[in-house]
A and B are shown apart, each in its own frame.
Chain A
Amino acid sequence: QQQVKQSPQSLIVQKGGISIINCAYENTAFDYFPWYQQFPGKGPALLIAIRPDVSEKKEGRFTISFNKSAKQFSLHIMDSQPGDSATYFCAARLNSGYSTLTFGKGTMLLVSP
């Protein structure tokens, strides 16, 4: 129930294309769903996050789509750029102020020039 399942494990997208990464969860007590971007040798950096009372959130080229009934959420990267090549992690947090995040296993994205 604590798991967050992320797919695909790796993804290759051409420059200008749309990158889509999906995550699914079981525990309906999760109340916060962030996406993190991590470059090699660096800590994760928050990209965008959503709460379950919203179905979509867009920030620049990054969009989270959230389907509460299906318990799924996804990250869409529009107009993907080589600089977007990184590992992306979805995560979820239980509805407790001091709760830790449960991470997906990550998706290695490569945007080809």
Chain B
Amino acid sequence: GAVVSQHPSWVICKSGTSVKIECRSLDFQATTMFWYRQFPKQSLMLMATSNEGSKATYEQGVEKDKFLINHASLTLSTLTVTSAHPEDSSFYICSANSPGNYGYTFGSGTRLTVV
């Protein structure tokens, strides 16, 4: 089946630093990837949609300069949290799908803690 690998699974960083999260589709080509943020005991909140080779589409209220998304290949999308602050601490999850595939496969998530 379709597998999406997300790394790291957890990261602690200092305020003001940047953190990069990788999302890879291991056995299929993902033309579209989605990035979500999830707070404890809440649902997934879509942050942005990235299409391979083009700029990401950000949801309203998501700072594109803070959450940089790059989808440079059909198997890799990255989310960089720039100048992280404690309020950016959250669980970030990526998801991928491909044409003709109704299945949206999710990564295992990244727990970001900014101290």
Contacts and interface: CB of A to CB of B under 8 A. Distances in A.
A16 B55 CA distance: 49
A105 B103 contact: no
Interface string A70-113: 00000000000000000001000100011011011110100000
A100 B44 CA distance: 12
Which 10 residue pairs spanning A and B have beta carbons closest together?
A43-B106, A43-B109, A43-B108, A98-B32, A105-B43, A103-B43, A44-B106, A43-B93, A106-B43, A43-B107
A108 B41 contact: yes
Bin chain B's interface residue count. Answer: 20 to 34
Nearest to B103: A46
B111 A44 contact: no
Given A43-B93, A44-B93, A100 B46 contact: yes
Given A42-B109, A98-B31, A49 B102 contact: yes
Nearest to B31: A98
Nearest to A44: B106
B105 interface: yes
A89 B109 contact: no
Q: Is the interface of B mostly helix, strand, loop or mixed?
A: strand
A45 interface: yes
A103 B104 contact: no
B61 interface: no
Interface residues of A, number: 22
B77 interface: no
B62 to A, nearest CB: 13
Contacts of B51: 98
B87 to A, nearest CB: 20
A36 B109 CA distance: 14
A61 to B, nearest CB: 19
Given A43-B106, A43-B109, A101-B95, 11 more contacts: A34-B103, A41-B111, A42-B108, A43-B93, A43-B108, A44-B106, A49-B102, A49-B103, A89-B43, A97-B100, A100-B49
Nearest to A89: B43
